[in-house]
């Protein structure tokens, strides 16, 4: 994102105010999606303040679970040092696909033709006279 594209728009990256606010803060790491994480200062409870600068659109579902835990003070150190290595069977985190062509659509959804499997006959409707 160029400086001319997003000086005042928050939906496609950090604004110029955010970049000025990060002066003096420490960059602590970057995740696989290119998001950069910062730490510095203290909040009102005395905890260190933590930020994420997204690479691309500002979508919270693009934060991996490990870094989400760090942002919310569930772990003290950055995930690379605080957590054990991932098991080989663990799938990578996927961002929220709602509103995209990759979104989940069940068999009865209109986008899939609106046809669903017929009932199997094990359902009996309730009637007040029964």
pLDDT digits (tens, 9 = 90+) for 17-33: 676 677 778 889 999 88
What is the residue extent of each domain of the chain?
Answer: 16-101
Instruction: Give the pLDDT mean for 42-48.
Output: 89
pLDDT of residue 1: 46
∠ Cα 47 54 31 (to 5°): 75
Q: What pLDDT, in 10s, does the model give residues 63-89? A: 888 999 999 999 999 998 998 888 999
Residue 120 has pLDDT above 70, yes or no: yes
Residue 14 has pLDDT above 50, yes or no: yes
Write the secondary structure of the chain as one string of H (helix), E (strand) and C (coil).
CCCCCCCCCCCCCCCHHHHHHCCCCEEEEECCCCCEEEEEEECCCCCEEEEEECCCCCCHHHCCHHHHHHHCCCCCCCHHHHCCCCCCCCCCCCCCCCCCCCCCCCCCCHHHCCCCCCCCCCCCCCCCCC
Residue 10 has pLDDT above 70, yes or no: no
Sheet of 48-53: strand order equals 26-30, 36-42, 48-53
pLDDT of residue 13: 63
pLDDT of residue 129: 85
Residue 98 has pLDDT above 70, yes or no: yes
Instruction: Give the pLDDT mean for 105-120.
Output: 78
Long-range contacts of the stretch 64-68 (C-beta < 8 A, 24+) = 64/31, 64/32, 64/33, 64/92, 64/93, 65/93, 66/31, 67/29, 67/31, 67/35, 67/37
pLDDT of residue 71: 92
């Amino acid at each position: 994102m160029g400086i001319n594209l997003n000086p005042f728009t928050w939906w496609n990256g950090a604004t110029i105010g955010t970049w000025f606010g990060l002066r003096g803060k420490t960059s602590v790491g970057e995740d696989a999606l290119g998001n950069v994480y910062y730490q510095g200062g203290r909040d009102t409870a005395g905890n260190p303040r933590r930020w994420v600068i997204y690479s691309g659109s500002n979508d919270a579902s693009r934060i991996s679970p490990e870094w989400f835990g760090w942002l919310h003070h569930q772990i003290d150190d950055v995930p690379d040092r605080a957590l054990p290595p991932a098991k080989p069977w663990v799938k990578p985190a996927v961002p929220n696909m709602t509103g995209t062509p990759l979104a989940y659509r069940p068999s009865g959804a209109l986008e899939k033709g609106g046809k669903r499997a017929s009932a199997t006959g094990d359902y009996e409707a309730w009637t007040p006279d029964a």
